[in-house]
Structure 1
Amino acid sequence: MSDIALPAALRPTAPRRSLPPLVLFAIAWLTLVLGIAVLADAVAPYAYTALDLRNRLSPPILFGGTWLHPLGTDELGRDVLSRLIFSIRMSLLIAFGATLVGALIGTSLGFLAAHFRGLVEQMVLALVDFSASLPFLILALAVLAFFGNSLPLFVALLGLHAWERYARIARGLAISASTQGYAAAVRQLGATPRRLYLRHVLPNIASTLIVSMTLAFPEIILLESGLSFLGLGVQPPATSLGSMVGYGREYLTRAPWILLSPAVVIVLTTFSVSMLGDWLRDRLDPTLR
């Protein structure tokens, strides 16, 4: 008996998986924030250091202010919206740079441990355990107080946060890949270790590393905000989200809008990155399928 061809409208179709609403919100918010960071010079109405002493502590438009300063001004008459835009750029630049530094250090050490094994692996694992047991905030305070503060040092210091996660992941996945057929075949063909790990092993574990980066990214934003809040992060005249919150705490009762805007951006950005990272982990991690 021959099969009866059903019309296309009656054929069973696989269910479409739509993105959860929170993931859609996270993607939209991160797209907006990244766009603001890239186009900060074009979208900011004023320079972030421009003073307007006649409008000191002017309230936002929702609290009786004027459209001249929609989010109000600070104690020196600087436009809060303009400072917020440039603070988003600075905070994201620091977070991206520190995340890449940590991923590079951790992945490189993980590959070294997986390749050499023996004493090298024990040294890397001992360094990983030492880094994981050391309170990072205390280390950051000591380094910044002793060596002073500069933007490259600050980014490199934040890059040391959570590098041990990448080292553990890279080591475990590289050891697992070395026992699989494709790694052994490439090695027998005479590929150098650098080519083996960079061209064959790294692309196969990149999804797991990317998920780890999205989970560490909000932690770095919070660390940058905390250190800048304490006065050890971004130094004036530069500005960041954490430094805006730090300067606004002295005017919390008189002008709360100075710190509310950057605080809301910090909360929404960290929430969005965490939500997107959790969703990517569920989609890309084969152990959770």
Structure 2
Amino acid sequence: MSALTMSLASRASRRKRLRIPLLLKIAFAWVALLAIVALFANELAPFDYMAIDLRNRLAPPLGFGGSADHILGTDELGRDMASRLIYSIRMSIVIAFGATMIGAFFGTILGCLAAHFRGVIEAVILTLADFQAAMPFLILALSVLAFVGNSLTIFILLLGLHGWERYTRIARGLAIAATGQGYAGAVRQLGAHPVRVYTHHILPNIASTLIVSMTIAFPEIMLVESGLSFLGLGVQPPATSLGSMIGYGRDYLARAPWILMAPALVISLTALAVSIIGDGLRDHLDRSTGSHAS
């Protein structure tokens, strides 16, 4: 009877752990919606986002005196705001996702190198990480864009430098801890190459923590991109992003606030949703680690 009771209690606790909070479900739904919009932007946009119609400039959104043809209104050149918002979501997500992956890849490699070689190489890598953390990223971005110029590829690579030192420190610490647990050393004693030890044994065990760090970095990079585009240093016309839409709308904040409010709301909700997902993943990993330890 006691065994049956323990089994039922175990099942109940397992179902409780697997239950997803409502707020986390909403966050996943919002991110999934943005992914669908980014993938099918060409099919979802009602108009060409670059099409100019000066006869219909600064038209208000539907419900505020506007028509159903432009449900989010038009901007100062008569361009459809809904179409521009859809393409801006695609551009901002591509930039943030690409920069996050670059920063995670670059930082993780440096962290693994520091953990493997130690000594002078470790000191040099940690010094570079401290230098990156101490320098304001905006100054670095302004310097690079002023000397190199701006293109989408350069912009994504530049944003990839944002926060790479975070992954370096995390990967280094976790790799050293994994090596100290013995399984990595045992595989190395069997003759495995160090690259294989890290890629097949150490990285899979620390990947969950790095993924949580990526969910934290993603909204940060999205906000940095928006800030640089707002200043005119990010995505250049005729391309558009959420930050550049806000930059265009600041001059019409009193006359046409919808130009600025729609992309600002999307940025805020996206940053909030990804942060909630990151917190949920962290809590799930903490519970899993605690249950395994017990």
Task: Tell me how far apart the structure 1 counterparts of residues 289 and 96 of structure 2 sit (CA, whole Å).
Answer: 28
Structure 2 counterpart of 1:14 = 12
Structure 1 counterpart of 2:67 = 66
Task: Tell me how far apart the structure 1 counterparts of residues 102 and 2 of structure 2 sit (CA, whole Å).
Answer: 60
Over 3 Å off, 4+ runs: 3-7, 10-13, 285-289
Task: Tell me how far apart the structure 2 counterparts of residues 246 and 276 of structure 1 sit (CA, whole Å).
Answer: 28
Query: 1 or 2, which has the higher helix percentage?
Result: 2
1:63 alignment partner, SS class: coil
Aligned AA (2:45): A
Task: Tell me how far apart the structure 2 counterparts of residues 4 and 210 of structure 1 sit (CA, whole Å).
Answer: 40
Structure 1 counterpart of 2:174 = 173
1:14 alignment partner, SS class: helix
Structure 2 matches for 1:15-164, cutoff 5 A?
15=13, 16-17=15-16, 18-164=19-165
- When residues 212 and 118 of structure 1 are mapped into structure 2, their CA distance, relative to the original with a 3 A threshold, is same
2:58 alignment partner, SS class: coil
Aligned AA (1:264): L
Task: Tell me how far apart the structure 2 counterparts of residues 175 and 232 of structure 1 sit (CA, whole Å).
Answer: 40
TM-score by length of 1: 0.95
Structure 2 counterpart of 1:218 = 219
- CA deviation after TM superposition for structure 1 residue 285, in Å: 3.8
Is 1:228 aligned to residue 226 of structure 2? no
25-34 or 232-241: bigger deviation: 25-34
Task: Tell me how far apart the structure 2 counterparts of residues 210 and 238 of structure 1 sit (CA, whole Å).
Answer: 30
- When residues 216 and 6 of structure 1 are mapped into structure 2, their CA distance, relative to the original with a 3 A threshold, is closer
Query: What is the CA deviation profile of residues 6-52 of structure 1, one whole-angstrom value per residue up to 9, with x for unaligned ones?
Result: 89xx9554143322222111111001011100010111101110122
Aligned AA (2:57): R
Identity %: 66
Aligned residue-pair number: 285
Q: Which runs of 5+ in 1 are unaligned?
A: none
51-60 or 263-272: bigger deviation: 51-60
Task: Tell me how far apart the structure 1 counterparts of residues 2 and 148 of structure 2 sit (CA, whole Å).
Answer: 79
- CA deviation after TM superposition for structure 1 residue 286, in Å: 6.4
Contact 1:110 1:166 in 2 (8 A): yes
Structure 2 counterpart of 1:254 = 255
Structure 1 counterpart of 2:196 = 195
2:12 alignment partner, SS class: coil
TM-score by length of 2: 0.93
Backbone CA RMSD of aligned residues = 1.8
Structure 1 counterpart of 2:274 = 273
Query: What is the CA deviation profile of residues 71-113 of structure 1, one whole-angstrom value per residue up to 9, with x for unaligned ones?
Result: 0000111000000000000000000000001001100000110
- CA deviation after TM superposition for structure 1 residue 242, in Å: 0.0
